[in-house]
Amino acid sequence: MIYLQMLWIFFRLGLFTVGGGYAMLPLIQSEIERLGWITAEEFVDMIAIAEMTPGAIGVNTATFVGFRLGGLFGAFVATTGIALPSLLVVVAVSKVLDRFQEHPVVKAILFGIRPVVAGLIASAALFIAEAAIIQSGGLGILGLDLVALCIAVVSGILVWRYHMHPVAVIVGAGVVGLLVF
């Protein structure tokens, strides 16, 4: 029964999430916490691992959740559930979009969807920041883990301003974590 439930939930998430993996994260988190499958802390750890592994973060996260709940077959079911809607929608939309992409109604719809995607990604970022910086319980004041906050700020600057490769930043942050903790 858990496999059918996973397939349905991840299929729904894959079908109704616009904006890619980061936009999916708040929805995945909400569903798995609602069902009591995984805690917020475990979810943040999965996101960290999913970010470091090749592939889309939403798919990787679903795979980890599926594996945690049902082993290798659970990982397969969750991955299939979250990826199948995209495959079906892309095939259907690609046939139509080429002909109608300049239509004013299509342009207006896409114009309205873009800010939602930005908001969903920002929501995922805030959720991860809260779990990593505010709730981590390390060295800090006012409930903030100052080491985690410094790592987050420096990482953001290195990637955004200096265009450092994210993998190098992740490895560097891992080394800092080993040295500090």
Domain residue spans of the chain? 2-135, 139-181
- How many other CB atoms are there within 10 angstroms of residue 44's CB atom? 20
Structure tokens given for 27 = 């929805």
Print pLDDT tens along the chain (181 aa).
899 999 999 999 888 877 677 778 888 888 888 899 988 888 888 888 888 888 888 889 999 999 999 999 999 999 999 999 988 988 888 877 778 888 898 889 888 988 988 888 888 888 888 878 876 555 566 678 888 889 999 999 999 999 999 889 989 999 998 998 7
Q: Which residues of 97-118 are buried (b: 16+ CB within 10 A; e: fewer)?
A: eeeeeeeeeeeeeeeeeeeeee
